[in-house]
Structure 1
Amino acid sequence: MSFVRLIFCVAGVYSMFLWWAIVQERLSVPFQSIDGESSDKFRSALFLGTCQSFLSSLSALIYILLRKKKSETLIQALGFHDKNSEEATTAAISNGKTHTHTHHTNGVMKAKSNTRFSSKALLLGYAQCATFITFAAPFGFAALSYISYPAMVLGKSCKLVPVMIMNVLLYRRKFAPHKYLVVLMVTIGITVFMGFGSDNQKPGSKKAASSSTNAASTPYASLIGAVYLLINLVLDGAINSSQDEMFSRYKISGQQMMLWINLMCTCISFILMALPLPSIPVLLPSGNGKSELVAAWTFIQQHPLVISPLIEFSITGALGQLFIFETLQHFGSLTLVTITLTRKMFTMLLSVVVYNHQLTPGQRLGAAIVFAGISVEAFVKRNDIHAKRVLQEREKAKLKSL
Structure 2
Amino acid sequence: MEGHSGDGGVSRVLLLGFCIAGIWASYIYQGVLQETVSTKRFWPDGKRFEHLAFLNLAQNVVCFIWSLMMTRVFSRRSNDGAPLLSYWSASITNTVGPAMGIEALKYISYPGQVLAKSSKMIPVMLMGTVVYGIKYTLPEYVCTFLVAGGVSAFALSKTSSKTILKLAHPNAPYGYGLCFVNLLFDGFTNATQDSIKARYPKTSAWEIMLGMNLWGTIYNLIYMFGWPHGTGYQALSFCREHPEVAWDILMYCLCGAVGQNFIFLTISRFGSLANTTITTTRKFVSIVVSSLLAGNPLTRKQWGSVAMVFSGLSYSIFLKWRKLQKKKRTE
Same fold (TM over 0.5): yes
Q: Which moved more, 1:317-326 or 1:126-135?
A: 317-326
1:255 matched residue in structure 2: 206
List aligned pairs for 1:171-320, cutoff 5 A.
178-200=139-161, 202-203=163-164, 206-208=165-167, 215-216=169-170, 221-251=171-201, 252-275=203-226, 277-278=227-228, 287=229, 291-320=230-259
Q: Which moved more, 1:11-20 or 1:258-267?
A: 11-20
2:3 matched residue in structure 1: none
1:48 to 40, 48, 55: 55
Report if the CA contact (8 A) 2:163-2:296 is conserved.
Answer: no
1:321 matched residue in structure 2: 260
List aligned pairs for 1:127-206, cutoff 5 A.
127-165=88-126, 178-200=139-161, 202-203=163-164, 206=165
Report if the CA contact (8 A) 1:160-1:334 is conserved.
Answer: no
Identity of aligned residues (%): 30
Deviations 1:369-394 (A, max 9, x none): 111111112323344455566667xx
Number of aligned positions between the proteins: 320
Structure scoring higher RCO (CA < 8 A, sep ≥ 6) equals 2
Greater Rg over alpha carbons, structure: 1
Label 1:329 to 1:165 Cα distance change in 2 as closer, same or farther (>3 A).
Answer: farther
Q: Which moved more, 1:309-318 or 1:50-59?
A: 50-59
Report if the CA contact (8 A) 2:112-2:155 is conserved.
Answer: yes
1:381 to 299, 302, 320: 320
Q: Distance in 1 between matches of 2:154 and 2:41?
A: 29
List aligned pairs for 1:325-340, cutoff 5 A.
325=264, 337-340=276-279
| SS of structure 1 residue aligned to 2:208 | helix
Deviations 1:99-149 (A, max 9, x none): xxxxxxxxxxxxxxxxxxxx56x733x111211121112211121111111
Label 1:328 to 1:241 Cα distance change in 2 as closer, same or farther (>3 A).
Answer: farther
1:350 to 289, 311, 314: 289
Once the two structures are TM-superposed, the CA of residue 43 in structure 1 deviates from its matched residue by 2.3
Question: TM-score, length-normalised on structure 1?
Answer: 0.70
Gaps spanning 5+ residues in structure 2: where?
1-7
Label 1:347 to 1:156 Cα distance change in 2 as closer, same or farther (>3 A).
Answer: same
| SS of structure 2 residue aligned to 1:158 | coil
- CA-atom RMSD, angstroms? 3.2
| SS of structure 1 residue aligned to 2:293 | helix
2:30 matched residue in structure 1: 20
Which amino acid is the alignment partner of residue 58 of structure 2? C
Deviations 1:79-104 (A, max 9, x none): x417xxxxxxxxxxxxxxxxxxxxxx
Question: TM-score, length-normalised on structure 2?
Answer: 0.83
